[in-house]
Structures are given as structure tokens and as C-alpha cells.
Amino acid sequence: MIEKHYKVREASERLGLSKDVIRALFRHDPATLKLYSPENPHQRVKNRKTKRIGKRQYTVLSIPESALLREIERLRKGQR
């Protein structure tokens, strides 16, 4: 059976939390899929520490419904 997955925006709306909070909650969740963008040679970002110009990589989180429901239940219980 294929499980429904939510984008950060959809999870944010469902839980009533900001997108930043959703990213923080699910960033290290083992069930959440992390999709990394390929490096774009036209998009350059300066690294503050090394002062070198590099390429920024983006990560998209795909949150499974089971993880979302688990988090909803945990928030209802007031844990964290």
C-alpha cells in the first residue's frame, strides 16, 4: 500500500504551525523522505566562514501521513 505524503506547506496548514517549525520537527525524522536538488552551477552562494563561493543545495521534505499523525498525537499530549 502506498502512503500519502505531505509537503511542508500542507503539513503546516494541517497542524496550524509555521513552515519553519514543521521543517524543524521533521528534518531528522527517519520516516521523512529528504529530496536533494542537484547543484545548480548558475546559483552561487558565498560561504561566510571560508569566504569562498560555492553552490547551494536545496532539500525538499516529503512527510508521510504516519509521521504526521504521530506528531499530531504527540502535540495533543503536550510532549516535547
> How does pLDDT run across 15-66, given as a tens digit for each residue?
899 999 999 999 999 999 998 876 655 555 555 665 555 566 678 999 999 9
Residue 78 has pLDDT above 90, yes or no: no
Rounded Cα distance between 11 and 74, Å, is 15
Whole-model pTM: value is: 0.71
* Domain count within the chain: 1
Quote the strand ranges of the chain, DSSP E. 5-6, 33-36, 44-46, 53-55, 59-64
What's the domain range around 43? 5-76
